[in-house]
Amino acid sequence: MVDASFLNLKKTSLKRLYYILLTVAITAAAIRCTTIDLYERTVPVPGHAWSSTFKPSFDFTIKGSSARYDVYLILRHNEKYGFNNIYLNLLVKIPGVDSVMKLRREVVIADNEGWKAASGMDDIYEQRLPLAEIPAMKPGNYNFTLEQIMREDPLQHVLDVGIRIERKQLQ
């Protein structure tokens, strides 16, 4: 006959081993993530019409060592937005540099099947689309400014605009 205290000890040891293995698995999965959110912010577009004079600006600080970053456009619009794309200038002010880097981009937001990367509710859609890759960013204060350069001015049916910046992890 087996002693009851031995069985309780065995059950306790198995539970402890299970929790340790679960913790290790969750930690390993977290380490394997390919990106870390660094910054995300949106601002409302006045009157839902993005004028070329409205140039939202986003400030953030990088504290760690240099790494590669992806910059995404966040565009919130309604179903009446009349274009498959948007032309933008992305102005980047880098710490320690007097000049501003200007990147002109065409961001395709729709194709024949509909909005590309949209999540929506009713007639409002939000898209997060690649805008630029920054090869290496040194620690310091950065400023990103978006300006729309479409022929239609103001650009109707745009509700919010913003950026998301993600740091890439070495794989």
Same domain? For 85 and 16 the reply is no
Same domain? For 105 and 81 the reply is yes
pLDDT tens per residue, range 1-23: 555 555 555 566 656 655 554 45
Average pLDDT over residues 89-104: 90
pTM over 0.85: no
Q: Which residues contact 7 (CB under 8 A, 6 or more apart)?
A: none
How many structural domains are present in the chain? 2
Same domain? For 12 and 56 the reply is no
Same domain? For 40 and 28 the reply is no
CB 154 within 8 A of CB 50: yes
Tell me which residue range forms the domain holding 21.
Answer: 1-32
Same domain? For 73 and 151 the reply is yes
